[in-house]
Amino acid sequence: MAVYGGEGFMAEGAAALSEPQTSQARRVMQAGAATPGALVEAGGDARVNLLGLARAELEGFCAQLGSRPFRARQLMSWIYKRGCDRFADMSDLARAFRAELAERATIAVPRILATQRAADGTCKWLLAGGADQAFEMVYIPEPDRGTLCISSQVGCALDCAFCSTAQQGFNRNLSTAEIVGQVWLAHRELGGGERDGGVRPVSNVVLMGMGEPLANYRNVLPALRIFLDDLGFDLSRRRVTLSTSGLVPQIYRLAQDINVALAVSLHAPDDALRSELVPINRLHPIAELLCACWHYIDEQNGRSVTFEYVMLEGVNDSPAQARALARLLAGHPAKVNLIPFNPFAGTRFRRSSEQAIARFRDELIRGGVIATVRRTRGEDIDAACGQLVGRVRDRTVVRLGSKMAAATRRRTAAHGAVRASAPGGTAPRSSGA
């Protein structure tokens, strides 16, 4: 499995991420291979998990069963609109078709291990990820909307210094079914929607939970399509937000594949500090990242990119840093969301004061950049931004930052060896120098 985690690893990860997506149904029906969550073992027979199959894939699966494409549309309506996971209850499907579905397919969602509710109404679920792994999702109710923060990986390999998830290490990518299943589960647990004759409780979905969504591109993309599909969850593209630490090649790819709201974890106005806080910056520095962001907006005719900026006392919260950030973003389709740091055990960081956050916001606004301050929610149950930890076993424990630092040391040593072996002790210059 490819994840971002080091110099040599980057090439491997980039190659894996560029492979064309293979449908779960085709893997099952033709090749017999499976990805995590694509198959469910039942009575010794592998059944296809229909949850997470995009419309075209579901139509292909129905065709394999000898049914016409409209059956896929009926299935999607039952699964996503009505929240039904029992084929026997899908009354407008032919009885023989329902019997065949029960034999060949299933609708399987992650199992809930624990539920916590905060004083402010925020709800956090711990979900089973298999092999004693677990991941988390969080529901944040507001008077005018309900936001579900979902995970894309068990753990994370990108090693952002201020994030509790990153300190857990990385185990694996979530399957499309596990990603989509979080939204399905939230609707079931919270009530509402067509099944209950009420308003659907989840109006906004943000991929800001555990993991880096763009490092799990092949499974995240079909999930996004189901979120937007009018036969799926039928969410507006402005109500589905993908947050990334800055995997530049995948931002360009995303611009060609789908139109959702884009959020970028920036957290610093210069490369030196950002490389310390967000190690992927050493591979994709700020200028390169911003170019990808503006390209995404141009391609998708979007309104703006949201830049997330966690406020760390004495690290990135000075007025001078606010002015530097404003110079980077002014005149571009950008807004900044300032996030008060949410502490966790063992961290060396502290939250900026309310006064420092207000000064930083005001400096950005004076510099011509829209800036808001995120209200902390669910802090009493460790459900706030940067606090999700899940349960990560058999993990990759070598951090991206340390891997990249080691790679830099190796390059420096190799360069020194070349210089020492060259005539006169200096490295030969290339003809283009």
Catalytic residues: 136, 385
d(C-alpha 326, C-alpha 139), whole Å: 32
**Residue 170 β-bridge partners:** 155, 396
Both tokens assigned to 381: 């149950």
Q: For residue 317, what is the DSSP state?
A: -
Q: Which residues contact 308 (CB under 8 A, 6 or more apart)?
A: 243, 263, 264, 265, 266, 267, 336, 337, 339
Helix (H) or strand (E) holding 372: strand 370-373
Q: Rounded CA gap, 387 and 94, in Å?
A: 47
Distance, CA of 433 to CA of 430 (rounded, Å): 5
| Closest to 206 (Cα-Cα) out of 190, 220, 187, 192 | 220
Q: How far apart are CA 287 and CA 69, in angstroms?
A: 46
Give residue 102's identity as a one-letter amino acid code: A
CB atoms within 10 A of CB 301: 7
Residue 1 Cα distances to 14, 16, 319, angstroms: 12, 8, 43
For residue 181, give the nearest of 218, 216, 129, 217 by alpha carbon: 129
3-class DSSP state for residue 31? helix
Q: Is 12 exposed, middle or buried (0-12, 13-18, 19+ CB in 10 A)?
A: middle
Edge to edge, the sheet with strand 39-42 lists: 39-42, 45-49, 105-106
Scan for tokens 């979530």, then name that residue. Answer: 174
Beta-bridged to residue 146, according to DSSP, are: 141
Question: In the chain, how long is the greatest CA-to-CA distance?
Answer: 85
Q: What is the DSSP string of 231-293?
A: TTT---GGGEEEEES--HHHHHHHHHH---EEEEE---SSHHHHHHHSGGGGTS-HHHHHHHH
The strand pairing partners of 390, in sequence order, are none
